């Protein structure tokens, strides 16, 4: 009888403390969790992997610090994939707030590759292999104008260089020279890319979104308007997994390291639900 009462009267503070420990320990002692790569992520990977040598990948960094745990690992994994395949990258931010985070991701991956490069050809060179266009006012204006001339909307890059003088930008003029747009955003921006870039100019669009907004975007994946989709931290971990396996990239995998924390937290909550229900039904039976 005492056991039954204990099951039905667990102090919520005890639950919170146990949950805190379960969530925190895997983050303090990280260990990358292997995951199964699902079709939306595999489709995203293939869309990047199949970009022709004469075309570029546009990566739109539109996440802010509160969305960073889910979306930043996506950006890093995509950049690793592109740089490993020597795919040319144009990085943009349609809003001013994400500029610093976009720069951080670009610098991190560039340093990873250049730290092991032995020749100029192996190195990732700014202006030759990638360009950070930065931010200009008007997301919709950016999407529409880039379809005609990227340099017209971004006359200078993030660092103040004239874009038409950069070696890469002499080859990448508009969407005809772009193989894919990868939009990483917690908002409706991926839908705008479909509406204004894909529908009008025919450029392919893939999306990286937060878990809470996934239900809004699955119709775009099912209709083929998205060439792949990464959903939340699990989607980021899956992309890390497929890039790591295909290219033997050994950089830190933050999403895969964070997954155990989520997994154990979910298992703990399920366990408490089961325990609470068992205690409830046993108490009813006893009465």
What pLDDT, on the 0 to 100 scale, is given for residue 82? 96
User: 280 and 227 in one domain?
Assistant: no
130: β partners: 89, 126
Please tell me what DSSP assigns to residue 194. Answer: I
What pLDDT, on the 0 to 100 scale, is given for residue 280? 73
What pLDDT, on the 0 to 100 scale, is given for residue 104? 95
pTM for this prediction: 0.88
What pLDDT, on the 0 to 100 scale, is given for residue 287? 64
Count of structural domains, the chain: 2
Return left, alpha or beta for 84; rule: phi > 0 is left, psi -120 to 50 is alpha, else beta. Answer: alpha
CATH number, domain of 129, equals: 3.40.50
User: 198 and 175 in one domain?
Assistant: yes
User: 269 and 245 in one domain?
Assistant: no
Q: How far apart are CA 92 and CA 130, in angstroms?
A: 11
Asked whether the beta carbons of 48 and 75 are under 8 A apart, the reply is no
What pLDDT, on the 0 to 100 scale, is given for residue 15? 82
User: 59 and 108 in one domain?
Assistant: yes
Question: Is 126 in a helix, a strand, or coil?
Answer: strand
> Dihedral of CA 18/19/24/29: which sign?
positive
Q: How far apart are CA 67 and CA 78, in angstroms?
A: 17
Asked whether the beta carbons of 210 and 183 are under 8 A apart, the reply is no
Q: How far apart are CA 204 and CA 43, in angstroms?
A: 12
Q: Which residue has the tokens 């099951």?
A: 7
60: β partners: 92, 183
What pLDDT, on the 0 to 100 scale, is given for residue 175? 96
User: 176 and 41 in one domain?
Assistant: yes
User: 218 and 107 in one domain?
Assistant: yes
Asked whether the beta carbons of 242 and 234 are under 8 A apart, the reply is no
User: 269 and 202 in one domain?
Assistant: no
User: 235 and 129 in one domain?
Assistant: yes
Return left, alpha or beta for 235; rule: phi > 0 is left, psi -120 to 50 is alpha, else beta. Answer: alpha
What pLDDT, on the 0 to 100 scale, is given for residue 7? 63
What is the Cα Rg of the chain in Å? 23
The range of the structural domain enclosing residue 18 comes to 1-32+253-287
User: 58 and 193 in one domain?
Assistant: yes
**pLDDT digit of tens for each residue in the chain (287 aa)?**
566 566 667 778 888 888 888 888 877 887 777 788 999 999 999 999 999 999 999 999 999 999 999 999 999 999 999 999 999 999 999 999 999 999 999 999 999 999 988 898 889 999 999 999 999 988 999 999 999 999 999 999 999 999 999 999 999 999 999 999 999 999 999 999 999 999 999 999 999 999 999 999 999 999 999 999 999 999 999 999 999 888 887 778 888 888 788 888 888 888 888 877 877 777 777 66
Which of 260, 259, 241 minimizes the C-alpha distance to 251? 241
User: 67 and 8 in one domain?
Assistant: no
User: 146 and 39 in one domain?
Assistant: yes
User: 145 and 171 in one domain?
Assistant: yes
């Amino acid at each position: 009888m005492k056991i039954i009462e204990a099951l039905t009267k667990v102090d919520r503070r005890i639950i919170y403390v146990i949950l805190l420990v379960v969530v925190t320990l895997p983050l303090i002692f990280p260990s990358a969790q292997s995951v199964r790569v699902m079709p939306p992520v595999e489709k995203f990977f293939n869309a990047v992997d199949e970009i022709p040598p004469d075309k570029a990948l546009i990566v739109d960094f539109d996440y802010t610090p509160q969305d960073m745990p889910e979306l930043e690992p996506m950006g890093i994994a995509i950049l690793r994939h592109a740089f490993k395949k020597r795919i040319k990258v144009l990085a943009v931010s349609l809003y001013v707030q994400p500029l610093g985070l976009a720069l951080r991701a670009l610098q991190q991956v560039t340093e990873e590759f250049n730290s092991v490069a032995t020749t100029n050809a192996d190195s990732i060179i700014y202006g030759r292999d990638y360009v950070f266009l930065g931010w200009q006012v008007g997301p919709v204006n950016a999407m529409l104008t880039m379809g005609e001339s990227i340099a017209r909307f971004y006359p200078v890059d993030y660092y103040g260089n004239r874009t038409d003088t950069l070696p890469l930008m002499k080859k990448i003029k508009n969407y005809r020279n772009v193989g894919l747009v990868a939009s990483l955003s917690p908002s409706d921006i991926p839908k705008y890319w479909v509406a204004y870039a894909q529908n009008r100019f025919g450029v392919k669009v893939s999306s990286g979104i937060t878990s809470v907004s996934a239900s809004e975007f699955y119709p775009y994946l099912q209709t083929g308007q998205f060439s792949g989709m990464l959903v939340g931290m699990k989607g980021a971990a899956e992309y890390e997994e497929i890039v790591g396996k295909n290219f033997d990239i050994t950089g830190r995998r933050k999403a895969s390291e964070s997954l155990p924390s989520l997994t154990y937290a979910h298992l703990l909550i399920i366990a408490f639900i089961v325990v609470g229900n068992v205690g409830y039904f046993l108490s009813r039976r006893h009465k």
